[in-house]
Homo-oligomer: A and B are copies of this chain.
Amino acid sequence: MIRVTIWNENWHERHDEHIRAVYPDGIHGQLAAVLGSEADFAIHTATLDEPEHGLTEAVLAETDVLIWWAHVKHAEVSDKVARRVQEHVLRGMGLIVLHSGHMSKPFLRLMGTSGTLSWRDGDRERVWTVLPTHPIAQGLPPYFELEVEEMYGEPFDIPQPDELVFISWFSGGEVFRSGCCWQRGYGRVFYFAPGHEEFPTYYNEHVGTVIRNAVRWAQPVLRRGDFACPNVTESPESRCSGRS
């Protein structure tokens, strides 16, 4: 089983009826539905208002891949929990950061950059695959369209991705690196741009394929324990010197 925790700040859905109309079960609820088709995914959800935002040591220790959606409440995520998420990624947990999560504490801690970009209200987005063999791009057409999505545009202040999988086109004239992969410590991080709360993006079949693929891609290969710097008192050569 791949143990997935879906985290959502869960604010818009509770305070704006127009958003609630789009995501009556919350964005985390719809993301859970998107993943629900996979028999080998064990899905858990957590939200900002829970104690420790629902991301205790115990929860993260049992999480293989964490999905992060947030927009207006980044500052309310405690530094302690943000650091805990970062450390679990460095130990091997996968992290999928969606849409406005580009300004979330865990993402910025892992990237080291400002995460800034330009944006504009609803536009038509076309997501192009530029790395067709990447596991996250499997099962997709050469491009797919989102009738209405928030425009996120370059320059996007991120470290150069280890792998650039998607580039988005917007009818208003912008481009964006909308699907980016990084290795950080023992963990994998995937940023995917689509997913503004006003629009039914997470009902799109291709977006669902991307997120399901990303969960499989981001699952841990190894988990790491502490972050010590070991003092190697006995050198490899001293250990093998008898032989040479």
Contact = CB atoms under 8 A, between A and B. Distances in A.
Interface residues of A, number: 73
Interface string A106-127: 0001111110111110011010
B175 A167 contact: yes
Nearest to A133: B221
Nearest to A152: B229
A132 B114 CA distance: 14
Contacts of A169: 169-170, 173-175
Task: State the number of copies, please.
Answer: 4
Interface string A141-174: 0110101000101111101101110011111111
Contacts of A110: 112
Interface string A228-244: 11111101111010011
Nearest to A114: B227
Given A111-B112, A174-B232, 8 more contacts: A116-B228, A119-B229, A129-B155, A132-B155, A142-B154, A142-B155, A159-B159, A167-B167
Q: 10 smallest A-B Cβ distances: which pairs?
A: A172-B235, A173-B236, A173-B237, A110-B112, A114-B227, A120-B232, A133-B221, A167-B175, A112-B112, A130-B154
